Chain A
Amino acid sequence: MNSLLNAALVLVLALNLFALGTSRILTVIRTVTFQGILLGILPLLVHGHPSLPAVYASAAAILLKGFAIPFMLTRAMRDVHIKREVEPLIGFLPSMILGAVATGFALIFAGELPLADEHMTPLLVPAALSTMFIGFILLTTRAKAILQAMGYLVLENGIFIFGMMLVEAMPLIVELGILLDLFVGIFVICIIVNHVNQAFSSLDTRHLAALKE
């Protein structure tokens, strides 16, 4: 079961890097959607025997990250007629390299953490850390509001992977609460995207600095 889990996590890491390396927004959305579905399956894999809370968490995550959020984001993207990120703060290749460095850092760091024995072997901790870092990189280097929302999603995916270690200890309600937060956050961003586009004729969030007093 561990090998299956590790394979899924390696795939998550690869998807991270892919999301960093592409400029087409639709591709990023699909990558993150796929990542979300993959993560939705994780609770079932972690402990081998699927318990009822794990199934609930899994179903809610897949429903939200696989369908509801991508649907909202593609709608928003269609409404504002943009397809590509053209002016990232850091180029696509450099950000990929940065992501790879962050993944390496996460692997080294996780090796140093005083973890419980059952968390030592799978890639859970390094994958979680690296996904969070890459979410941060997306958030900070991309100018378009939609891509920032994607960064936010990836960041949350990292936290979700961390949560896998606690899937039995953490009450279901907390898990669902986090998902609800995420949903509302993305929902609000989709609305804001429209308004930012109308106000500034662009989705570049750097224009928001004009609102400073």
Chain B
Amino acid sequence: METHLSILLILAGSVLHGLSGVPGLWMSSRSATGQRIALLLSLCGSLLGLTGAAMGLLGYGANIVTLPWSLFGESITVSVDGLSAFFLVPVFLMGGLGAVYGLGYWPQAANPANGQMLRLFWGLAIMGMSWLLIARHAGFFLFGWEIMALSAFFLVSTESHLPDVRHAGWIYLATTHAGTLALFALFAVFHRITGSFALRPIAFDEAHLGMLTVLFFLALFGFGLKAGMMPLHFWLPAAHASAPSHVSALMSGVLIKMGIYGLIRFIGFLPEPPASWGVIVLASGCISGVFGVALALGQHDIKRLLAYHSVENIGIMLMGFGLALIGRTLGNPLWVALGLAGCLLHVWNHGLFKALLFLSAGAVVHATHTRQLDRWGGLAKRMPYTAFFFLIGAAAICGLPPLNGFVSEWFIYLGLLHTAQQAHNGWTSVALAAPILALIGALALACFVKAYGVMFLGSPRSIELSTVQEAPLSMRTPMLVLAVGCILIGLAPMLIVPALEVALRAWNPAPSIPFPGLLASMAPLSSISLFGLALAAGGLISFFLLSRLLKRRGIERTITWSCGYAAPTARMQYTASSFAHTILGLFRWALRPRIHYPSTKPLFTGSARFETHQDEPILDRQILPIARFVKQSFLEFRPLHQGFTHHYLIYVLVAVIALFIWTMPIHRLIERLFSR
């Protein structure tokens, strides 16, 4: 009964979301009524969906329910087990918050051309995601997947009058189709093995290892492409940068996690994974993490920077999942629990802080009409709330206590360090991933010091600060909710642990591994929260003491980085390029940024420019040149079709004659003609 109720709630919520944009289509393109209706429907849908997901997380939804519809001759089955419910929460949360944010960020009156379309596909994307999450039928899963993927294409190309946006949209469309193609193959093989479209674990004696390896790599490609795993991440920066900011928040915070969900779900179906799979996932996680954050450091566009951080965080999730897979192979429940808990919790956490970062960056973009870091500066004076929210998100994404990013990374650290302790011969080297995780965290910290410093501190570079206004309430409220989420998980991680354990048990492919109570006993959660509280209190107290001290001493405020110059100007500040230059130098061998050094040949040189530019290593240097080559090769065929009917008829004739000759037994003919 409870299962039915939670599924009913989620289906109702998803359909409400899916329909939210529809009434607006019949409204005037300048009236705000459609947007208000959409907001109302979205909020109701989110409320219903979150209730359903919460029931799932309490363990009420694990039974498989058969819906009264069928697809490919099999009835559609759905279920809200812990894993599905865990991923449903960010979907519905962001679905509602994004609709609120859109009220201020993308008002219908200011965007008559595309506001209706944006809201329609926003709702449809939420609907598609929730369907694929509850699906237990491969066809239904793909159905939801495609609704999500295509809606995301329309969301990315909202501002399709801009050539850059169209370009990003097409690249996204091509890659998502490539991924779906792999998923088709995946489900075809799956169907061949299990004999039905029902998504269920494959029994050990059902398939041999070769078949399972094919499934593993198809899943890794198809879902990895959506998740933005390196080197399949190339569609992601442009798509995130081109979309409206709340769409970027949805895509980065929620949509790419569907790839992670797919990976966790499907690899969980494969019995007895060889250890190499876990190592592959862990290694690709490390690569995504390090190079994702290194690429982020080289960006000058805030939204591209945040997009590369998504690649980095996907890497962290994959590290956790890879550890869980290795643990499953070796039959070590501890590694499974800690790795997967870290991975899943990071899904939530990244959903929270990345959405928060995109929304606050969007507020800045909205106020200043540029995405270039080097134009900003000093915005904290005009946009204090936004600056504060961005700071929370930035600290959380760097994995600093007492915020939520720390907790999930802590789980993964614990798991990785356990591999060094335990006596599985030869697996201590897995612990080497721990310093890589630390490296990722440190680089992320450098990157966000750069981003926050350049955006909000110092003095404005090429914007007029007096014209900048703080974001309206409709945009600040979603940010506040997300920031509270970040702080809450960071300070009281034990609240999340029951939900995590339900999700772990839902995934648990080997029933011999006991989970309940494991996480709480393994990770010192209460001391984390105590430590976090102490840190927060200490920070606040020292802040107030210091500011009182400064006030008493009568120290006046001046421009940041004035460095004692008599007449400092805004151009004397660190820029995004100069800040990241040293660190980028360490990665120059891999990323090969383009650096234009100023020429300082004559003694008294004139004006000179220094620029760095980091292009996308996979897209710009590998895929686009290959695509251009293919296009050129096809141009060779152009003379063959000039539009003359005669030519086409001759082609038909040639084909017919060729078929004749092919079917004609030539050797018999020759025998008959030339032998006696």
Which residues does A use to contact B, with CB under 8 Å? 89, 108-109, 112, 133, 136, 139-141, 143, 148, 205-206, 208-209, 211-212
Contact = CB atoms under 8 A, between A and B. Distances in A.
Contact of B649 (A133, A140, A206, A209): A140
Contacts of A109: 660, 664
B650 interface: yes
Contacts of A143: 646
B664 A140 contact: no
A112 B646 CA distance: 30
B643 A212 contact: yes
A133 B654 CA distance: 11
A143 B653 CA distance: 17
Contacts of B653: 133, 136, 140
B643 A140 contact: no
Name the prevailing secondary structure of the B interface residues.
Answer: helix
5 contacts: A136-B649, A139-B646, A140-B650, A211-B643, A212-B642
Contact of A139 (B644, B649, B660): B649
Contacts of A133: 653
Contacts of A205: 645-646
Given A136-B649, A205-B646, 15 more contacts: A108-B669, A109-B664, A112-B665, A112-B668, A133-B653, A136-B656, A139-B646, A139-B649, A140-B649, A140-B653, A205-B645, A206-B644, A208-B643, A208-B644, A211-B643
Nearest to A139: B649
Q: Which 7 A-B pairs have the closest CB atoms?
A: A212-B643, A209-B643, A140-B649, A136-B653, A140-B650, A139-B649, A209-B644
B661 to A, nearest CB: 9
B250 to A, nearest CB: 39
Contacts of B665: 112
**Main secondary structure on A side of the interface with B:** helix
Interface residues of B, number: 15
Contacts of A211: 643
Interface in B627-676: 642-646, 649-650, 652-653, 656, 660, 664-665, 668-669
B660 A208 contact: no
A211 B645 CA distance: 12
Nearest to B645: A205
Contact of B645 (A108, A141, A208): A208
A66 B668 CA distance: 41
Nearest to A212: B643
Interface string B602-646: 000000000000000000000000000000000000000011111
Contacts of A208: 643-645
A133 B649 CA distance: 12
B646 A140 contact: yes
Contacts of A112: 664-665, 668-669
A142 B363 CA distance: 69
A47 B646 CA distance: 38
B673 to A, nearest CB: 9
A209 B642 contact: yes
A172 B209 CA distance: 58
A205 B642 CA distance: 13
Contacts of B652: 136
Contacts of B660: 109
Contacts of A212: 642-643
B645 to A, nearest CB: 6
A212 to B, nearest CB: 4
Contacts of A89: 646
B665 to A, nearest CB: 6
Nearest to B668: A112
Contacts of A136: 649, 652-653, 656
B669 A206 contact: no
Nearest to A102: B657
Contacts of B646: 89, 139-141, 143, 205-206
Contacts of A140: 646, 649-650, 653
Contacts of A141: 646
B656 to A, nearest CB: 8
Candidate in A109, A112, A141 with the most chain B CB atoms within 10 angstroms: A112
A112 B670 CA distance: 11
B674 to A, nearest CB: 13
A7 B644 CA distance: 38
A133 B660 CA distance: 12
Contacts of A209: 642-644
Nearest to B665: A112
Contacts of B664: 109, 112
Contacts of B668: 112
A38 B203 CA distance: 71
Nearest to A208: B645
Contacts of B649: 136, 139-140
Contacts of B669: 108, 112
Nearest to A213: B643
Nearest to B646: A140
A139 B651 CA distance: 12
A143 B645 CA distance: 10
Contacts of A148: 645
A63 B540 CA distance: 103
B124 to A, nearest CB: 34
Residue of A140, A143, A205 most packed against chain B (CB within 10 A): A140
B638 to A, nearest CB: 12
A83 B262 CA distance: 71
Nearest to A129: B660
Nearest to A207: B644
A148 B646 CA distance: 10
A132 B95 CA distance: 64
B647 to A, nearest CB: 8
A208 B650 CA distance: 17
B269 to A, nearest CB: 49
B190 to A, nearest CB: 44
A128 B402 CA distance: 88
A69 to B, nearest CB: 20
A148 B642 CA distance: 19
B321 to A, nearest CB: 50
Nearest to B647: A140
A108 B664 CA distance: 10
A205 B669 CA distance: 40
B229 to A, nearest CB: 41
A123 to B, nearest CB: 18
A168 B359 CA distance: 77
* Residue in A205, A206, A211 with the greatest tally of chain B CB atoms within 10 Å: A206
A89 B646 CA distance: 9
A43 to B, nearest CB: 26
A211 B644 CA distance: 10
Nearest to A114: B665
A140 B646 CA distance: 5
A136 B660 CA distance: 15
Nearest to A143: B646
A208 B648 CA distance: 13
